[in-house]
Amino acid sequence: MTSAPFRLVVTGGGTGGHTYPALTAVRTLEGRLAEQGRGLETLWIGTVDGLEARVAPAEGIPFTTVVTGKLRRTKNPIKMVSPANVRDMARVPLGVLQARRVIDEFQPQVVLATGGYVAVPAGLASRMCRLPLVLHEQTVRLGLANRKLAASASRICVSSESTLPLLPRAARSIAVVTGNPVRPEVLTGHADKAVESLRLHGFDRRLPTVYVTGGAQGAQQINELIAGALPWLLRQANVIHQCGSANLDALRTGSADLPAELAGRYHLTGFVGPELPDVLALADVVVSRSGAGTLAELTALGKPAVFVPLASAAGNEQAHNARHLQDSGAAVSLEGDVTVDQVRNAMGPLLSDASLRRAMAERARAYGRPDAADRLVDEILSAAR
């Protein structure tokens, strides 16, 4: 006799930081249930214009939308009461009603919310339907959506031990440290494959390799800093620089005068796709933003990192993420109006001292949780029981 499928509602998205942990959790749960001879039926509740609206259908996951409101944050409390904020907050009750209708029809056993504005209506609706709500928080501090939903949750799954004392006292009893789910393929790279697929035959493998990334679109600040430090950097290391397609021509022009020996150690690309796991396996040091997903991947792999946090990130979360690792000696964080000299000063010791890189890698690995997806699935199944 075949067991009935497990039914899960997933809500969360807007950005990759909320979307991909949810997707990884779904795939991990699917695998776990398959081992038990059970199926998984998932419904993803998102918004029309969030990243999840592209990712879920592309992954074959049924997807539906509800309306929601975006709170535009500012340090001036008076400006918080803006016409746009008032208008958007008035949309939330409608979104809750829409989500409740969807949840009533689908009859899930658990609702998993991974943050983002869309998580609020579905999370509140789960409480109205008396269903277990599992929250997952990717950053050190609870995001705004998860703060609003904490009182409705059955479990609050967090990515870091340091989050626990920051939770409301009432929430600590239902909080569990799971880590932030990492796509399993990220952990399976091979350095030699990166050399072959990217044709890095000018690289000097006796030197460390630096991977520079500002995310899929690139980051102007990081691009400018690396361009300014480039001749110096290439005397110490090989560099893979993922700059964003829109920035490729300008950076290519700027590096055209490099001496042939140094030019062979510099691989400039607009985008790193399926070869990312291999690039990360090759990298000895990573220079990047400090979003939650990036931190989860780099700590799971044990990679020394120099972070340049995005100053405009919601709640200044990237700076908090980076400081948390820097305070433990697991990374370096460069904040504010970063200069090329600061980049040299941060990277110089790491590039010249392999033992320093190894020590930072070990500290980073201590924070990594490559089994985070399995831990989160444990909590989802436990909440269902």
Residues 285 and 153 in one domain: no
Does residue 331 sit in the same domain as residue 355? yes
91 in a domain, yes or no?
A: yes
- Predicted local distance difference test score (pLDDT) of residue 201: 95
- Nearest residue to 102 via CA among 133, 70, 66, 75: 66
**Cβ contact 345:314 at 8 Å:** no
Whose structure tokens read 């907050």? Answer: 89
Alpha-carbon distance of 233 to 227, in angstroms, equals 9
Residue 116: inside a domain = yes
| Strand locations in the chain (E) | 6-11, 40-46, 63-65, 110-113, 133-137, 155-158, 175-177, 209-213, 238-242, 266-269, 285-288, 305-307, 332-333
For position 25, which CATH number holds? 3.40.50.2000
- Listed in order, strand segments (DSSP E) in 47-115 are 63-65, 110-113
Closest CA to 113 of 94, 101, 131: 131
Distance (Å, rounded) from C-alpha 249 to C-alpha 228? 16
Question: The domain containing residue 19 runs over which residues?
Answer: 6-182+370-384
Contact 101, 94 (CB under 8 A): no
For residues 261 and 144, membership in a common domain is answered with no
Q: Do 317 and 329 have their domain in common?
A: yes
Dihedral of CA 18/24/30/32: which sign?
A: negative
Residue 1 maps to a domain: no
Q: 309 and 375 in one domain?
A: no
Residues in the chain predicted with pLDDT less than 70, given as ranges, are: 1-2, 69-91, 313-315
CA distance 36 to 16: 30
User: What pLDDT is attached to residue 217?
Assistant: 77
Q: Are 150 and 208 members of one domain? A: no
Read off the amino acid at residue 313: A
Give the whole-angstrom CA distance, residue 76 versus residue 319.
Answer: 20
Check whether residue 133 and residue 252 sit in a common domain: no
Distance of CA 146 to the CA centre of its chain: 16
Distance of CA 272 to the CA centre of its chain: 16
| Chain centroid to CA 290 | 9
Indicate if 206 and 247 belong to the same structural domain. yes
pTM recorded for the entire structure: 0.85
Q: Is 223 inside any structural domain?
A: yes
- Examine residue 147 and state whether it is found in any structural domain, yes or no: yes
Tell me the three state secondary structure of residue 296: helix
- For 90, 208, 330, 333, 340, the CA distances from 306, given in Å and listed in that order, are 42, 14, 10, 6, 13
139 shares a domain with 263: no
CB-facing half-sphere around the CA of 205: CA atoms within 13 A: 7
User: What is the dihedral angle through the alpha carbons of 232, 235, 238, 243, rounded to the nearest 10 degrees?
Assistant: 20
Q: What is the pLDDT of residue 87?
A: 62
- Tally of structural domains, the chain: 2
Name the one residue in this structure whose structure tokens are 């500290």.
363
Q: Which residue has the tokens 């067991």?
A: 3
The answer to whether residue 243 is domain-embedded is yes
Which tokens belong to 313?
């990130």
Query: Could you tell me where the beta strands, DSSP code E, fall in 226-328?
Result: 238-242, 266-269, 285-288, 305-307
User: Residue 129 has what pLDDT?
Assistant: 95
Are the beta carbons of 65 and 14 closer than 8 angstroms?
no
Q: What is the pLDDT of residue 178?
A: 97
Residue 168 and residue 193 in one domain = no
User: Do residues 173 and 225 both lie within one domain?
Assistant: no
Strand order across the 6-11 sheet: 63-65, 40-46, 6-11, 110-113, 133-137, 155-158, 175-177
In a domain, 52, yes or no: yes
Q: Per the domain annotation, does 132 fall within a domain?
A: yes
Residue 27: both structure tokens together: 């795939």
Q: Helix (H) and strand (E) counts for the chain?
A: 18, 13
Say if residue 151 is in the same domain as residue 196.
no
Burial class, 81, CB count within 10 angstroms (exposed 0-12 / middle 13-18 / buried 19+): exposed
